[in-house]
Amino acid sequence: MTTYDPDRPLGVALIGYEFMGRAHSQAWRTVTPAFDGPAIARRVLVGRDARKVQDAARRLDWEEYATDWHEVITRDDVDIVDICTPGFLHAEIAIAALDAGKHVLCEKPLANDTAQAEQMVEAARRAEDRGQIAALGFNYRRVPALALARGLVEDGRLGTVYQARADYLQDWLADPDSPMSWRLRAETAGTGALGDIGSHAIDQIQFLTGQRTTAVRGRLATIVPERPGDDGREAVTVDDAAWATLELDGGALASVEASRMATGAKNELSIALYGSKGALRFDLESPNELWFLDATVPVSEQGFSRILVTEPEHPYLQAWWPQGHVIGWEHTFSHQIHDLLSAISGAGPAFRPDFAEGLALQRVLDAVVASDAADGVTVHLDR
């Protein structure tokens, strides 16, 4: 079992070195200079292709590389296993790492289906009894502006939240000749835009409102049914775009849209909350800004005010630059690692979200799929 020893660095193994692996590597490099906390050692980067992972380990500043994650998770000098693989590999690696006594950080969504997610939660419960942490990586919870928004909702500044909206729009598949990848195959990705970016939108709705989804209506669309593959045109077996309406246990209603076909949208996560005392708006393409409306003042004075979220008093900003000096997308991963290390050392609260929250969100994703299969009927989730 991994036991925290402040006199020895926490050894980290990262599995996966592509897009998410690069983002997590950046976070492991920058977290210690930015925040006080446990010392870490970037022990080993793991990937299937020996040549590619060797090159990646050099570029991303890992001590060594390996091609067999089964061997790596048994090493005594590895305390944390960070999983940045495609979703279909999450369950096997996470369960094995937890059973080997390691803390685990797993990228979202937790798994490709509910059955796998349930197995992961069972492993996490066994590990929790041994003092291990099973953390789920939803980095947008660590955007300072969104963490501030959560605080405003918790403080009652919006009153009763009636309505919420989250749209996550991209256009990297708008060209019908964009090639096939693992993200476009159901056997490796589970779902398409729904699980990839729609999961972020749904998580933000639940995170910001503090409410959980009780019923779902959803629609999915595969707008481009075939794309260029290694052997000619290959069938796309996941969705290109997804829409859902959510009923929440606090009475709020929410709408969600996710698309990788939204021409002109590069990485547009836009969020709005409307309540009895106020409203909030956020757009990830302007990540240091939060817009707040105070509906308790006279209507003649009402209007959205721009909050530039760069003050030391704002969440996470004390670690970075003087006020007004903006930070970016990559910092959210540093904040995520900081919170994980704080939880491991006992200096901070329990890490959220955990695997149990990931399972709950997976059930929402599955409900969207089930609703679409039944022509958009309402699917109720167990409380």
Please report, for the domain that includes residue 81, its CATH number.
Answer: 3.40.50.720
The answer on 267 and 206 residing in a single domain is yes
Question: Which residue is listed with tokens 């009153």?
Answer: 159
Residue 351 in domain: no
The answer to whether the beta carbons of residues 105 and 80 sit under 8 Å apart is yes
Together in a domain, 366 and 240: yes
Q: Are residues 128 and 162 in the same domain?
A: no
Domain boundary among 87, 122, 139: 139
- 365-370 average pLDDT score: 97
Which pLDDT tens digit goes with each residue over 233-280? 999 999 999 999 999 999 999 999 999 999 999 999 999 999 999 999
| Residues 241 and 367 reside in one and the same domain | yes
Degrees, nearest 5: CA angle 364-137-325: 120
In a domain, 65, yes or no: yes
Q: Are residues 193 and 321 in the same domain?
A: yes
Amino acid identity at 151: G
| Length of the chain, in residues | 383
**Cβ count within 10 A of residue 167:** 21
Q: Is residue 223 part of a domain?
A: yes
Contact 374, 212 (CB under 8 A): no
Average the pLDDT over 281-299 and give the result. 98
Integer Cα distance of 163 and 267 in angstroms? 23
**Does residue 236 sit in the same domain as residue 155?**
yes
Instruction: Check whether residue 149 and residue 187 sit in a common domain.
Output: yes
Examine the fold and report which residue of 88, 110, 139 is the final residue of a domain before the chain moves on.
139
- 304: helix, strand or coil: coil
Tokens standing for residue 292: 């707040």
Please give the Cα distance from 6 to 286 (Å, whole number): 38
CA 22 – CA 81 distance, rounded (Å) = 15
Q: Containing domain of residue 62, as a range?
A: 10-139
Total count of domains within the chain: 2
Q: Examine the domain organization and report whether 130 and 215 are in the same domain.
A: no
Q: What is the pLDDT of residues 189-243, one digit of tens each?
A: 999 999 999 999 999 999 999 999 999 999 999 999 999 998 889 999 999 999 9
Statement: the pTM of the whole predicted model exceeds 0.85: yes
User: Of 105, 139, 173, which residue sits at a domain end?
Assistant: 139
